[in-house]
Chains A and B, each alone.
Chain A
Amino acid sequence: MGTVINIAPITRIEGHAKIAIHLDDQGNVRDTFLHIQSLRGFEKFVEGRPAEEIPRIVTRICGICPWMHHLAANKAVDAAFGVTPPPAGHLLREICQLFAHITDKILHFFFLAAPDFILGPDADYSVRNVMGIVKAEPELAARVVKMRQLGQMMLERLAGKAIHPVAGVVGGFSRPMLEAERQELLRDAETLLDFSCYALDFAKDTVFTRYKDVISELGAITTGFLGTVDRDDGSLRLYDGRQRLMKADSSCIDFEGDRYADHIGEHVEPWSYGKMPYAKSWQEGFSLDPAAPAGIYRSNTLARINVCEKISTPKAQAELEEFRGVFGRPAQQTLLYHYTRLIELIYVCERAVELLQREDVTDTRIRAAAEPRAGRGVGIVEAPRGTLIHDYTTDSNGCITKANLIVGTTHNIGPMNMSVRRAATSLIKGGVYDAGLLNKVEMAVRAYDP
């Protein structure tokens, strides 16, 4: 048996995972495994709960994007109880989702991923983190910290609790937005929009150009993509729309969310607590072989940017055109997740401004009456890390009898395994490796999932 290199835990990511790199006798990579190390059993223990409580229970699946679970669950329970929120109810939910996407993208790019680029992949590991950026680039750090905080406080002002929110309710939202709040939030959203344009320019100048080679090679794989698009014009959607599954050859199948189980299967391996979703409807089975993957698609920003026809807001659309001009459609390079993340940051800011300009967001009809009943509902939103699917069945008392959850991150577990293998194979030769090199292997994961 050859050597095994363990990276435990993978750091600067959301969640618990480790990487095991298995070397052969010559010290070259034989195979790698990304082990997911968390199972809490939500699908089981939510059984019996009154369905309207679910949106404030399942938030605890993820402390980094609790809003996404909150909203997907709200939409699913709306459907199970057969209730349609009034327009302002949907608007307030979507605005919260946009704010949450804003803070998440700032966190992901600047706090978690950027230390690799700004301090460098080989920088001393004890300072290669956001505190290190505070020291090395205090001005940039100050601005970034302020902007993320602004987003979080906007959520807190509007919805009370920013982390593990409670303000989305079955049938709508729990409180209206006041006119004075609207004006303030609009001003703040405009500030964030300015910042988002700066952020992409900054990244283009200092990261994407400088690390061009790393970006085109590290963890590159060829897969399909899953995202959500507008039902009419195919533009990028996050709160609601139709699901689109694109093959690597760019052919697409679109489907309505409640048909998700016809298209997606979840593969189980004995070496991971995380299941690996794959495209069942392609009927090609499941394989993680980077040279000949089967059923493998990716989700998250790169996927959404690949599957959409266009973006409905002007600045993000201009960036999309530039991006496609250089990288094509679908773009496959794994580190482009960061680039597309920042294009999406512009979109969510523009969209927030657009919605906050609407007079009807302050409408006080925010919540439709609902009654517990037997039913089934599927709720889907685009979480920062991918298409998030919540599916609940209720009994006549409106309590949960069955739950199925496919979390955004999990779509990428298979692809992350492939990217890690690609990265490790190209970096580790003849048993030679060091800490900086192993950090580069982790960077392939951080593209998807800090």
Chain B
Amino acid sequence: MADKIKVGFLLLGGCAGCEMSVVDLSEKLVDALEHIEIVFWAPTVADVKYNDLESMEDKTIDVAFIDGMVRLDEHIHMAKVMRKKAKTLIAFGVCAALGGTAGLGSLHTKEDLFQKAFKNTPTTDNPDGIYPQPSCLVDGKYDLTLPAYEDKVRTLNQIVDVDYYIGGCPPHHSHVGAAIGALVSGQLPAKGSWITNGKAVCDVCTRNPAKQGGNLARTMVDKVLRTVDGTPDADTCLLQQGYICFGPITQGDCGGSCLNVNIPCRGCGGPIPGNEDYGAQALSTIGSILKDDTVTAQLMEKYPNLAKFFYRYALPSGTLPKRM
């Protein structure tokens, strides 16, 4: 038998949901252990520590998956370590690829975030106004350290070279399965690309007017609704009903999971290949199918702070002005 492919998983500033998607492969993952050997999976699943990874020889890991965004100096350090140890590096999930939900934190200063978390919530009890510190001396004898908090959230490719991107928050387990299958069989696309089926969410959505004999692009949207406004019809296109849906600009490797339960897409799949800036693309695509200025005004009123709306998962990767 050929040597097993050595795989590593490293979680940076994410929620581990991406890794749970790997666990969701279940029996398929157990079967895949015939072909792959997981040599590192921290902190979530295995006990090999950071210093063990540091002392591995360079390029000993064939494929490394990194999930989560970059916010702490420790994330930067570990991303660089993993880059050295891995032949192929995958930005796994929308946090690593584009910044993810927590990337919205970049719209606020570090001081704002700290003030909120450590001073201004009703239950916080902090009379001395203490903030977490990269290093501090406690009781005059304990030198304690914490990873330093960077000013902004960054995507993985803003720190190290990334070979492939996988979208989704998390990537759907069937998509993860397909990606691992491609790895094992060596059928990967050109370096630097997204691993995707190449379809938009609209392409996989059963509500697509094109599939129902209409034409999505030509039917202008004549009102904007929030999801709290009434109950959407369960069969027709949500966007056409006025419920803003990011299906047209989002990779559909999830199979339209949200649409299947009558909920509009918010774009976690990432941009359709070719579109670098998700939020800018979303803004222009959605903007262009609103019927007139009144409808545009309605959008601004219904969704104040459009940056947080259109860049729900992609802010740190975007180029539009980011200050509120």
B291 within 8 A of A: no
A41 within 8 A of B: yes
B226 within 8 A of A: yes
Residues on A with C-beta less than 8 A from B213 are none
Q: A12-B44, A63-B20, A371-B228 are in contact. Are A266 and B123 (CB under 8 A)?
A: yes
Q: Let me know if A62 and B15 touch, CB within 8 A.
A: yes
Q: Let me know if A397 and B304 touch, CB within 8 A.
A: yes
Q: Let me know if B45 and A174 touch, CB within 8 A.
A: no
**A272 CB to nearest B CB, Å:** 6
Counted as pairs of residues, one from A and one from B, with CB atoms less than 8 Å apart, the total is: 263
Q: Let me know if B14 and A270 touch, CB within 8 A.
A: no
A11 within 8 A of B: yes
Residues on A with C-beta less than 8 A from B258 are 160-161, 166
Q: A35-B146, A266-B123, A371-B228 are in contact. Are A14 and B16 (CB under 8 A)?
A: yes
**A372 CB to nearest B CB, Å:** 6
Q: Let me know if A125 and B48 touch, CB within 8 A.
A: yes
Give Cα A66 to B170, complex, Å.
11
Give Cα A267 to B234, complex, Å.
47
Q: A63-B170, A261-B122, A406-B123 are in contact. Are A52 and B227 (CB under 8 A)?
A: yes
- Complex interface bits, B96-134 against A, C-beta within 8 A gives 1, otherwise 0: 000011101101100011101110011111100011110
Residues on A with C-beta less than 8 A from B107 are 45
Residues on A with C-beta less than 8 A from B112 are 44
Cβ 8 A contact of B15, one of A17, A61, A145, A286: A61
Give Cα A264 to B122, complex, Å.
10
**A184 CB to nearest B CB, Å:** 17
Instruction: Name the residue on A nearest B171 (C-beta).
Output: A163
Q: Let me know if A45 and B228 touch, CB within 8 A.
A: no
Cβ 8 A contact of B261, one of A12, A48, A175, A370: A175
Q: Let me know if B24 and A163 touch, CB within 8 A.
A: yes
A428 within 8 A of B: no
Which residues of A approach B to under 8 Å, CB–CB? 1, 4, 7-17, 20, 22, 30-31, 33, 35, 37-45, 48-53, 56-57, 60-64, 66, 81, 107, 111-112, 125-126, 128-131, 134, 141-142, 145-146, 148-149, 152, 159-164, 166-167, 169-171, 174-175, 260-261, 264-273, 275, 277, 280, 286, 367, 369-372, 391, 397-399, 404, 406, 439
7 pairs from A and B in contact (CB 8 Å cutoff): A35-B146, A60-B15, A174-B263, A175-B234, A265-B124, A286-B125, A404-B123
The 7 closest A-B pairs by CB, nearest first: A63-B17, A160-B261, A149-B26, A63-B15, A41-B113, A129-B46, A265-B125
Which residues of B approach A to under 8 Å, CB–CB? 11, 13-21, 23-24, 26-27, 30, 33, 38-39, 41-51, 71-72, 74, 100-102, 104-105, 107-108, 112-114, 116-118, 121-126, 130-133, 136, 138, 141-147, 149, 169-170, 226-228, 230-231, 234, 254, 257-258, 260-263, 266, 268, 301-305, 308, 312, 324
Known: A9-B43, A131-B38, A161-B258. 7 other contacts (CB 8 A): A4-B143, A14-B16, A50-B303, A52-B228, A81-B228, A126-B48, A277-B123
